[in-house]
Each structure stands twice: as structure tokens, then as C-alpha cells.
Amino acid sequence: MEKKDIDWSSLGFGYVKTDKRYVSNYKDGAWDDGALITDDMITMSECACVLQYAQTVFEGLKAYTTEQGKIVIFRPDLNSDRLESSAARLEMPVLPKGRFVDAVIQTVKANDAYVPPYGTGATLYVRPYMFGSNAVIGVKPATEYQFRVFTTPVGPYFKGGAKPITIKVSDFDRAAPHGTGNIKAGLNYAMSLHAIVTAHKEGFDENMYLDPGTRTKVEETGGANFLFVTKDNKVVTPKSNSILPSITRRSLVYVAKEYLGLEVEEREVYFDEVKDFAECGLCGTAAVISPVGKIVDHGNEICLPSGMNDMGPVTKRLYDTLTGIQMGRIEAPKGWIVEVE
Ligand code: PLP
Ligand code: COI
């Protein structure tokens, strides 16, 4: 396979149309067999449930070229499980077991010329999603659905790559108590658009959302969970039932304990504690681990001791170990890496 002529190292986190995408339709209570197609356009009713009532859920994972030259994906079974719980929450059908991972593998294989080569810093982002496609005008779930997977080669989510970013404490909430913050539904991201545009206008890279019930505890950002490191090298990560259960965060907790021998606390984190942490990072598929250098709460600045130039030392060890596992430099726990080609 000949790679596409792309300047891989200068890719940002944007959409690049690739050759093939996977489509499967659900109708009359059953999924069809699914197929790879070339058409990137979707035609549907003006009254489709997704367009009127935002009935859509999605996932995000990446394909990597390893040091050995293989194409692999990272823990797709967990994306499959999460899509299942997101779909259930929005009254959408689930895919039969195995179909999700199979569709992801087929789509990555069909676009292998777009998987960035090892060492370029870029990866192939994979976006599986599902939406209610038939006309619905009363508020109720659709009866017809489409599941699709597309891919796009990407670079770092934040422009500076591994440079620490500055975030603000948002005045808006992205989730409601007992709402949908714990699933990956488009509606949560629609909720965050005004907040992110506001943050960018004010010169910040991202928002820190606090818990919507009391606004005293740290939740997450618009697209990543938080990881903090205490001055005595403990890893602390917020536990909440209104944040997305990040696969990266769950993997990093394992890496911290089992590979690096660090103590980890998954617990409620009060905003008042943040000033005492030594390091802060945002973790997610897109973000990997993006270091945070400064957190601003209505003019009150918290400057992390790790500074604005480099990742903190513990964050760096976590980053190096996780990406080492993903890129085949470090042996992975059983089942984490699925070979595509
Ligand atoms: N939180 C939000 C709101 C996200 O959109 C994402 C991205 O998927 C994450 C956290 C990180 O989750 P994961 O590590 O599974 O990509
Ligand atoms: C991901 O990390 O996969 C996400 O969906 C986050 C999004 C902000 C791009």
C-alpha cells in the first residue's frame, strides 16, 4: 500500500476526507449487513430525529502505526461498550456483539494509506457514530437508524502539541445532574459550543467544567477528563457520574499503578484543592495527555508548579508509557492492542 502524499507532521486536529466509510442501516427492528462505501454525503428526511431532536451518539478512537510497522487500534472493545450505553440512554438500538469492532477494522483497513507513518506524531482518528434517520415530529425515538464509521488523519488536538495550555473555569455547565454527561452524545457537545467559543474569545484554550449540582467539584473539559498529580506524586482523577468514562483515563490509571508503581486516587476533587496540585493534564483519545499550565477562575490564577514550558515529570512518564504501549515500544496489557494489518 502506498501512503497518501500528506505532510503528516504538520497535521492539526481537522477533518480530511478519506476514501472509504462504513455504513449499516437499521430498519424494521434489524440491522442490515453493512458495507464500505465511497460516498461521504448523507441524504435523509428534513424531519429526521437526529436533525430535530439530536438523537445521535458517537465514539472516538485511533489507529496507530507501530514501531514494527503494523497498524493497530487501542481498546476498541471499550468504545463498543460505551457506544452501547450511550445508545441505550437515548433509546437507540445496539449493534450485535462484534459488529462495532469489525466495522472499525474494516474502515481502517480500507483507509490504510491514510494511517500516518510511525514517528510522525500523527494518527488516524476513527469516528463511529449512530443517528435516528427517519422522520419524527412528536418527541419520541426514531424507528430507523444509521451506524457509520469514518476516519481522518490527525495531529495534536491543541495547537502547541505538548505545550502546556491555559484553561478557564466555565460559567456554563455541560451536563445536568442525572443528565447525559456520562454518555457520548452529540447533545453534550452542542451544549459546550457557546462555552468554548467564549473561552477562545477570552484567550483560553479550554474550559474546566464544575459539577452542575454544587459547582464546587471538578468535572472535566469539553473533550477530556482531568488528571492531577499531588506534590508527593500521587495521581488524582475526578470521579463523577456526570463525566464521560474516558478510556484514556481508565488506561492511565492502570499504567500509573501497574507500570509506574504510583498511587492513584479516583475520587471527588474539590476545586479548592486544585491550587495545591503539582501537575494537571487533560486526557482523552484526541487530547492524549495535554498538560495544563494555568487555570483561571474569574481572574484568580492558579499556576501549576510544572509551568508553561513543559509537561510535568509524572505527566510525562504517563504520556511516554501510554504512547509507548500504543506505538508498540512497550508491551501492552493483554487485549489492549488489536492488530488491523
Ligand atoms: N470527556 C469528554 C467530554 C470527551 O469528549 C472525551 C473524548 O472522547 C473524553 C472525556 C475522553 O474519553 P476517551 O479517553 O475515551 O477518548
Ligand atoms: C475524542 O477524544 O475522541 C473526542 O471525542 C473528543 C472530541 C473533543 C474530539
Best residue among 180, 246, 289, 326 to mutate for probing ligand 1, ranked by most atoms within 8 Å of CB: 246
Answer whether 144's CB lies under 8 Å from 131's CB. no
pTM (2 d.p.):
0.97
Ligand nearest to the CA of 184: 1
Q: Kindly report the protein residue whose alpha carbon is nearest to atom 10 of ligand 1.
A: 224
Measure CA of the first residue to CA of the last residue in the chain; give whole Å.
Answer: 11
Q: What pLDDT does 226 receive?
A: 98
d(CA 286, CA 296): 23
Q: In the chain, which residues have pLDDT < 50? A: none
Q: If you measure from the C-alpha of residue 138 to the centroid of ligand 1, how many angstroms do you get, rounded to a whole number?
A: 31
C-alpha atoms less than 13 angstroms from C-alpha of 149 in its C-beta half-sphere: 31
- Which residue CA neighbors atom 5 of ligand 2 most closely? 60
Residue 258: left (phi > 0), alpha (psi -120 to 50), or beta? alpha
Residue whose CA lies nearest to ligand 1 atom number 5: 223
pLDDT for 159 equals: 84
pLDDT for 52 equals 98
From the list 54, 219, 49, the residue with the least C-alpha distance to 141 is: 49
For ligand 2, is residue 223 a contact (CB within 6 Å)? yes
- Residue 171 pLDDT: 96
Catalytic hit among 184, 201, 217, 294: 184
Ligand 1 centre and the CA of 285: distance in Å?
Answer: 6
Ligand 2 atom 8, closest CA: 223
Q: Which ligand is nearest to the CA of 76?
A: 1
Q: What is the pLDDT of residue 316?
A: 97
Residue 159 appears among annotated catalytic residues: no
Q: Report which protein residue has its CA nearest ligand 1's atom 12.
A: 246
Cα 204 from Cα 189, distance rounded (Å): 18
Measured CA to CA, the distance from residue 228 to residue 281 in angstroms comes to: 6
| Nearest listed ligand to the Cα of residue 180 | 1
**Of 72, 34, 137, 144, residue with least CA distance to 329:** 72
**Which residues form ligand 1's pocket by a CB distance below 6 Å?**
60, 220, 223-225, 244, 246-249, 284-285
Q: What is the pLDDT of residue 97?
A: 85
